[in-house]
Structure 1
Amino acid sequence: MTLSRLGLEASMDPKRVRAGQLMQRRVFCVPPQMPVRELAKKLDRRGLEGGVVVDGGGNLLGVVSKSDVYHYQREGTRGPDALAFFRQHLIDGLSAASPADVPDLARVRDIMRPSAVEFPENASVDRIAQAMRRRRLLRVLITSGRKVRGLLTAMDLLKLLES
């Protein structure tokens, strides 16, 4: 995406450019009740590293990444629902279930990180870049209230500098 397509002048001072002008407006959002297995498939299909967790009203709840999915898969099924499933099988005296029989009970809400670094649409990209460098971030969310409006990545900032 070029700066001219964004309505920005190539000679524009980064201190005057606002997050809302440079951000990517298409953000991959997922509900907290989505099964982790489904999330993993969607991330792979779309070639994404993660997504934003929002409630039914589009309010920001947290973020989830491929590494969160990886850690979940490595540690195995967890959470109160999984524990209840195994207790039921032990108490009822049923034989141990094979892995194929074990339901994928984990949901995005079980593995997401409830905090996300966010900035308002009117924040200067200069200020955002400083925060990203200090905190070693590759992306930040752009919000209005609790609503996700977009995403600003290190690549977006590099495109601005490149022009």
Structure 2
Amino acid sequence: MQRLAPFAALALLAGPAGADCITRAESFLMCTVKGGAKELRGCWGPGDAGYQFGPEGGAPELVISVPLAQLDFIPWAGVGSSIWEEVNFANADLQYSIWHRVDRAPEGDPPSAGVTVTRGDETLAELTCDPGTISANFEGLYQAKAAIGQCWRDFLWQTCKSP
């Protein structure tokens, strides 16, 4: 499902922040949407993580940045027929949930990804990445969180205990 008009209006609500995915050392998700007209990027770098959305190859319309230690990242639980991961960015009363799914069965569905925009319990927009444009590295994001001393335990990122 793609409801695009509300998403375009929402993108203008967020002003520039500190993250710059174009120069980030690592991206956890990059793809185009709307037939290549727009691009979404999720990335991390020294100390922070970011989300950008805008015209492919152009200046982003939306930029959100948060400290890596505070990033709401839900890694794959290690069970099920598909690998599913999600990163959530808050901007005022809006949440941008960037997700990625890979079917583990060779004959399964092709990889998919996208962003869902919500306000409270209301879904305002859902954009799915154009087929064949998805580049994902959520494992790298997991390693980046571990590198700053965080462990995924009991469905929460926590400070790792020293041995």
Q: Report the TM-score, using the length of structure 2 for normalisation.
A: 0.24
Higher strand share: 2
Larger RCO (alpha carbons 8 Å, 6+ apart): 1
Higher helix share: 1
- Asked which structure has the greater CA Rg, the reply is 1
